[in-house]
Chain A
Amino acid sequence: MTLLNAVIFLPLVAFLIILALPKDKPETIRVFSLVASLAVFLVSLGLIGPVWSSAPGKFAIETNQPWIESPAINYHVALDGISLWLVILATLLTPICVLVSWRSIDKHIKQFFAFLLLLEFGMIGVFCALDFFLFFVFWEVSLVPMYFLIGIWGHERRIYSAVKFFLYTMAGSALMLVGIIYLYNLAGTFDYTKILAGIESGAIALSPVEQLWLFLAFFIAFAIKVPLFPLHTWLPDAHVEAPTAGSVMLASVMLKMGTYGLLRFCVPMFPNAARTCARWIVILAIIGIVYGALVAMVQPNMKKLVAYSSVSHLGFVVLGIFSFTQQGFDGAVYQMLAHGVSTGALFILVGFLYERRHSLEIASYGGVATPAPWLSTAFMITMLASIGLPMLSNFIGEYLVLQGTSLVYFPWTVFAALGVILSACYMLWLYQRVFFGKASEDLTHHMSDLGFREYAIIVPLILLMVWMGTLTQSFLPPISASNAVLLGPIDASREIHAKTAPPHTPALTAHGEFANAR
């Protein structure tokens, strides 16, 4: 029993215990959920040491046990520098979500917290699984609790949104399942590391057509989850209708399952197909960045605004991945984490406002800064982080992505940077409309400042934003090491295109196709 297995299965155990608790004791259930999720978080911190001290870019804390004999399916989990932080992001946000839902969830409390922990189980599993079957199992398992979280505890249009969310993901994962089984029939194994090694060494021969179709099968499943324009339409619905904890989990962790899949599976396994499609994917990512920002600007609903800002920010992540540069990869992962923290915090703060005023419409606010100065300050810092202000978390990610892209094809950087400017527009404008101006009598009456529980929720996130924005080196080294490994297969084929690349920009050589495009 390694530490990692403990982190994976503790939430499942907690889920089962909550199911066994009596439903007429809500306080017990809340306290137990908090204690359990905090325990998972603390245990997960113990994962940092082993990953940090393992060989750079290699998997650590590995467990590889047969699960089903035929077809050979293994329980194969391990962590590298990328999945480590994503797991910790999930374990950090779960206790925070428990706290967020402390009072705002007032019906079916037991089931709510049970589903929250089941969700944590699924999400942690997705980031650790190195067996495709296992990965798929976790991928789908995380879908079910989220469906219930949105559908039972959401706002007015919750049922429509929950079903839409489920069906979108289901359709995507159906294609992925075909891809997984197809790969198995070729390789005779579901093991990611073996398949990857087989593809690199040529032991598993994929024709270009096969590679393209397999790439697309995986890519569509992940792109729906990210979500990449134009597959994003489920996201605003799901985010807006979900309860605060659901929105936080969805935006901060679940969307990363998509980008993580792209980075871990799609690109390294099918490098040639990835390169062939990269041009189109990058264009979609840039459209997503600009479109998400523009649509966010005109939203009258705060949650919808934050949701569209996610479309925009996740566009950066995809852009970074499909630049196929070290900086781009690093930036993408960093942006995944930073977005997880800052957007999670934004949803939480919007949730705080909602609890006070019971409205998500921007128009029903104004002058909140007067009655609730600390709430406004917290919102200010979070918003600035989300915009990408230097010294705060998102800046590092966006900067690295833009730098990586600029090494490949400069005009893209220009378009993508538009997104940064636009994000300042919609965020500052939102802030101005909600927090400045003269507060109405009615609003002042409802608007209390942060309470103790709310400080406990938001302060750690703000500290983390500052930490991630300043002491980058406490996070980046294992990420870079793992990215270098993932980048390998794409780099390996650089010779084919090397002659088209100018000699002074080595990163460009990893990107022959784009050099041609120029």
Chain B
Amino acid sequence: MRLPTRYAGWMVRDLALGPGVWMAVLTVGAAVLVSKIQVSGPVGDIAQGACLEALNWTSITLALLATGGLVSGDFAIGHQRTLFAKPVSPPLYYLQRWLIGAVAVFIGSTVVALTIASRFGLALLGPAFFVRLALLYLVIGGLVFLMSTLIRGDWLAVAALLAWQTLVGMARGMGMQRGPIGVVLDLILPPRPLLRLGDPLPDGAALVQVLVYGSVVVLGALALLRWRPLARGARE
């Protein structure tokens, strides 16, 4: 039986020794920072809010690190020509890598969340947290996955998109009106405001929006890997 799991072991090792190093540095750095924050007195509530915001950004950054170069890394050096002459399905190969990245993001985010929970005495690590984390990875990790099948600077493009989205959000907070272009862009851009890890689970239309967005980007990436040409024709 030729299961993709036969090469899962070295995918884990590659992640651990590659982006996993930066993910570990980020996780430990965030956990140390949280453990140093003052939790009581007049700044306690502000600190708690800041820590939850930091948890969000840490999880997003972990997702960017785990999925950056997922597909584009192989295509950039032409390695896909060697890889996919073997009895290997490109969508399954990269889907497995993407799922291994999800596990790494879960570990990192859980460590940071655990530190925040113990520092502030919060019941943060319930099922809602893990469902939100899964949705966050589906959306952000899925978007990088999709970009990675199309361009080389995948994680950078998504990071720029998120930064721009944040700036627009701040401008709106200061009273900027949302025009028709803004409405369209809100549909295209990742529904990040619905993914804050400390909030209750989204439900109804918000949940559907997140699920549809995440499914579209991941299935889009898989469809591209199924049907896009794996070579440019001329020697690479």
Partners in one complex: no
Chain A residues close to B by CB (< 8 Å): none
